[in-house]
Structure 1
Amino acid sequence: MSGKRHLWRWRSNPLRRREDVLEAWMMLAVWAVVVLVGAVVAPLAFHAAEHRFAQQRAVRHPVRAVLTTDAPQGVTARWSPDGRVRDTVRWVAPDGTSRTGDTLVDPGLPRGTTVHLWQDDRGRLVTTAPTDRAEGHVEAGLLAAGAAVAAAAPVLGAGAFARARLDRRRLALWDREWDLVGPR
């Protein structure tokens, strides 16, 4: 009997108002929708991120490139926030053609130095290595959690708005009752 009372505390309370019961059902519905939305959105986001990371691993390949000029020393107009400088390199694309382009390298490297970079299937340089499998799982999990929270936020916001409206309604009813029975 006490377990039932815990599960539904307003059922037999003589002070319960219609708004209290409405709020209880509404909050139950809001949390049910939040759980349902999270259960749908999180796996979808996780698998989409995993698929994207797997695509990166499939199309990005390591390549050795050679500096065609001496890399500038220190801070220049071609400098990046991580302390590296932009310089021209030459590499061989997957189709066997020789390519040249700019990339970030450590400052002060002499011409002819070999640097290790990443290219896509078309032979274009890409800025980062593909996300490895373990890091991809962690990032996909974080993205899934963020997507679930973002998808649930409007539902929680609507529930909070509805509760605020119910609170205003309860206060208005209380004011009316106070006008009837309060001091004059």
Structure 2
Amino acid sequence: MAKTRCGKVWLWRWRRNPLRRRGDVVDAWIVLAAWLIALCGGLFTGLAAGVAADHGLQRHRTERHLVSAVLAENAPGRTSASALDNNHVWATVRWTAPDGSTRSGQAKVRPDAKQGTPATVWVDRHDRLASKPLTPGEASFQAAWTGVLVGLGAVGALLGGAQLLRLHLARRQARQWDEEWARVDTPWGWKAG
């Protein structure tokens, strides 16, 4: 018995072939366009998101500054949750803004610190308490991952949209085949199936 060799024929949708339908060519162009747009669009959106995230994190670094404050109350003792947070607890601190007004808010301090103990807090340009800004290395890492995730999301959305378009095209072709088969099958005097 002779062995038959079956293999995948590359670019069959663009080759001249009596079995090739117009829908096959449209499908091939959809796949090609989707991959090209997804790769270029994903790269562009990823880079744009990374740059935007880096600028935002850099702005946060420049807008935040350290201020000397004092504890307005005795800090609570050590808790099991503070072990997870570098052994710091939340307490009320008070500081003086550049305009001379007194501000207060919750900040992380050492456990069991007494009222009046000096503390250092980060504030934003409006003299509100803020978190410590990321270091330049941490900001670059976060911006890079933001770009990667946004780029992958864009690629996934574009390829998903292309698959939905191909599915719609395949369903349309199936309806056309059913109509053609109904026209061919009826003159024979009986219906298959």
Which TM bucket (shorter chain)? 0.7 to 0.9
Instruction: Please list the CA deviations of residues 66-107 of structure 1 after superposition, one character each: whole Å capped at 9, or x if unmatched.
Output: 1121124578xxxxx9696543212344x3736331213355
Distance, in Å, in 2 between the alignment partners of 1:162 and 1:151 is 17
Q: TM-score normalized by structure 1?
A: 0.75
Q: 2:28 aligns with which of 2, 21, 24?
A: 24
- Contact between 2:66 and 2:122, CA under 8 Å: does it hold in 1? yes
Q: 1:158 aligns with which of 157, 161, 169?
A: 161
Residue of structure 1 equivalent to 2:107: 104
Residue of structure 2 equivalent to 1:119: 123
- Contact between 2:72 and 2:93, CA under 8 Å: does it hold in 1? yes
Q: 1:144 aligns with which of 136, 144, 147?
A: 147
What displacement does 1:165 show? 1.3
What displacement does 1:120 show? 2.3
Instruction: Please list the CA deviations of residues 37-91 of structure 1 after superposition, one character each: whole Å capped at 9, or x if unmatched.
Output: 223222221111111111111121223321121124578xxxxx96965432123
Q: 1:183 aligns with which of 164, 167, 192?
A: 192
In structure 2, runs of 5+ residues without a counterpart are 1-8, 186-190
State the one-letter code of the partner of 1:138: F
- Contact between 1:88 and 1:100, CA under 8 Å: does it hold in 2? no
SS of residue paired to 2:93: strand
- Contact between 1:90 and 1:98, CA under 8 Å: does it hold in 2? no
Distance, in Å, in 2 between the alignment partners of 1:13 and 1:113 is 85
SS of residue paired to 1:89: strand
Distance, in Å, in 2 between the alignment partners of 1:14 and 1:64 is 82
Point out the structure with max Rg over C-alpha.
Answer: 2
State the one-letter code of the partner of 1:124: R
State the one-letter code of the partner of 1:50: D
Residue of structure 2 equivalent to 1:52: 56
Give percent identity, aligned residues only: 33
Is 1:172 the counterpart of 2:181 in the alignment? no
State the one-letter code of the partner of 1:110: K
In structure 1, runs of 5+ residues without a counterpart are 76-80
Paired residues, number: 173
- Contact between 2:75 and 2:91, CA under 8 Å: does it hold in 1? yes
Distance, in Å, in 1 between the alignment partners of 2:192 and 2:125 is 84
- Contact between 2:73 and 2:114, CA under 8 Å: does it hold in 1? yes
What does 1:66-77 align with in structure 2 at a 5 Å threshold?
66-73=70-77
Instruction: Please list the CA deviations of residues 90-130 of structure 1 after superposition, one character each: whole Å capped at 9, or x if unmatched.
Output: 2344x37363312133553321223332122443321x111
